[in-house]
Structure 1
């Protein structure tokens, strides 16, 4: 995508940047440093507090301890509520070759920023671990994306009510109708676990070549292929929890499952694993992946702004995060999938993913397609 610097566009960017400056929270793994200090890495997180905690309590301090003189500063935009403003700020900084205010991005918009040439290109000569990560995972992040952790949606089930879970999507759909009120998923706008269930049902009716196009670009003309899937989802209304109640968010689904109000639901692998570890999810609840198709998942990517004044330090931090010790930290702290091969981690950590294929991260739809999907679900699925 070509960069434009028309006066009107710059004005919008400046306004967006000013808006953003008052809407994010900053913290530091260590005090000191700034844009003029090329040994300080300012990490911008577009995500949740668990990811912020991973950086502030884990990755940041570990990097500083291993690299005396280097500092890590953290800024959080909770749930990525201001991604559009951040992209505008990034666009302006690259166009004008000015400091964007951060040196390493951890957020869902990294692939889009990479496609727009806002990020510094990386390859195995700069990030050595890229040569060991599955090529399709690396490719999904574009030339500037650095995969550093992952997760997928799994089917969680209460073994007291479901001794053997469905193995395929068709089996799951049949189970839902045979056990009214015992399954639900959150509305796709409110969380990715529900979104993955919706996308997987739609995918049942979308040809593979069309779906491939819809994962890498905006193909509005192909959205008609979703019609049969939306009809299937609408037909499930009488069979889901309380005849059509769709919780608001991933956590509400987990709470219903943990409290025994439902017996089965799609859940994020990392949230589920964390819940089992801290006791909020009973030991009787298990999780596994379905097939034909599987639920979607994906990698989380880091990116280095093309106009960052601290590219070398940011590269150093990105390489550090992909080392086995830090990958193990990601597994322990937030139950994320490692980006590197699972066999490089201690055996006790490998066992955490016994029922999940960490290398099989079936991509979701392109960002703009997902927004349309969410809006269409609102229109076509709930209600009688």
Structure 2
């Protein structure tokens, strides 16, 4: 049975969030300042003992939920901190709560940590809603590469110690090797392949996260490579590079599944089309999960990852600490535990969650490196080093809504 498809999406709360952020910019917000209040991590541990940390995170990822509840939370409890997962439909929901409580003058906020990146982070930073400088106190930050661009910038916004890295992601295409015997090797080749094989390709409708990334990849490829497009959004840069991508996707539409009359609503819906043999090429920002999807029969055994010569976009997810978090010390302890080699290795196991580590394994001890060496090898997914070959970072977050809106007006509304 096919999933339902629609261009309609639940209205994002981000515009309201951004408006509230502008109203709050320049306000000091709360009195909790862990980066200044604690001189050592031992002091953090002492203050955190007995605290309950509310981690607000997207609740639609069953494996992610299970990891937090069954792996991360017990490890936090061992250090005297109760970790409570608060599931939300959209990350801006959490930031909306933080900003509303700041506007009300609360310094005992109900949000202690947020799984965040992209526009949520940049909007919160603009509003001075994040605690900054605290990540230097985390002992496990020593295992990260201090020069890793994915950890220094979040969709073009400098991290500045305002959030702790959690895991990495790499946008990846995959294909049915039984149906595609000569797979394309660039994004432009994928567009050409789709036109040569009508009905066998589609993508999620932006503003869905995966469809939005695909739109940006098309723009970067047609621009001659990611290095050609400025990281920071400007109207001039948009006018120079966006029209070619919008035109290409408009011209592609008649060759899409159902001639582009409808689009999958999200990555899961696209996976269903792929599993049912409706399309032959699909995409994901979480390639490590493909191993489990194939193993469980959710995707066919003929599934293979498509690595592109030009590389694809990668990013990192983070744990952000609101400036008015009631249990800030406990949140810092949870973020440090989440960065530990033990937790990072557990989370990287496809059977647990299948998320790429943010650690530089060259900085680990032999015993810690062995945790990663023992992870099961995937017959489907290459290791992160191969997947991220020629990778490029995300564009500034302001590019995202601008491109999504252009797609809605000019592609989705095309006659």
Pair 1:286 & 2:304 matched: yes
Structure 2 counterpart of 1:107: 116
Given that residues 200 and 257 in structure 2 are in contact (C-alpha distance below 8 angstroms), is that contact kept between their aligned partners in structure 1?
Answer: yes
**Alignment counterpart, residue 195 of structure 1, candidates 198, 212, 229:** 212
Q: Tell me if structure 1 keeps the 8 A contact 2:135–2:164.
A: no
Quote the Cα distance in structure 1 between the aligned partners of 2:58 and 2:255. Answer: 36
- Aligned runs of 1:1-384 on 2, under 5 Å? 39-46=51-58, 48-50=60-62, 51-64=64-77, 66-67=78-79, 69-80=80-91, 82-83=93-94, 85-89=96-100, 91-92=102-103, 96=105, 98-108=107-117, 109-122=120-133, 125-131=136-142, 132-133=144-145, 134-141=147-154, 142-143=159-160, 144-190=162-208, 192-206=209-223, 211-214=229-232, 218-224=233-239, 225-244=241-260, 245-268=262-285, 269-292=287-310, 294-332=311-349, 333-341=352-360, 344=369, 345-349=371-375, 351-352=377-378, 353-354=381-382, 356-357=384-385, 362-382=392-412, 383-384=414-415
- Is contact 2:230-2:237 (8 Å) kept? no
* Contact 1:90–1:118 under 8 Å retained in 2: no
Contact (CA 8 Å) 1:149, 1:299: kept in 2 or not?
Answer: yes
Contact 1:149–1:301 (Cα < 8 Å) also in 2: yes
User: In structure 2, what is the Cα distance between the partners aligned to 1:271 and 1:86?
Assistant: 31
- What are the ranges of 5 or more consecutive residues in structure 1 without an aligned counterpart? 1-5, 14-34
The count of aligned residue pairs is 346
Q: What stretches of structure 2 of length at least 5 have no aligned partner?
A: 1-19, 28-46, 363-368
Cα distance between partner residues in 1 of 2:375 and 2:84: 29
CA spacing shift, 1:355–1:38, aligned 2, 3 Å:
closer
Structure 1 position 381, deviation (Å): 1.5
For residue 235 of structure 1, give the secondary structure of its aligned residue in structure 2. Answer: helix
Contact 2:91 2:115 in 1 (8 A): no
Question: How big is each residue's C-alpha offset from its partner over 1:317-375, in whole Å with a ceiling of 9 and x where there is no partner?
Answer: 11111112211222232211111136734334373452544656633333332112111
Name the Cα RMSD after superposition: 3.0
> Displacement, 1:9?
5.1
TM-score (norm 1): 0.79
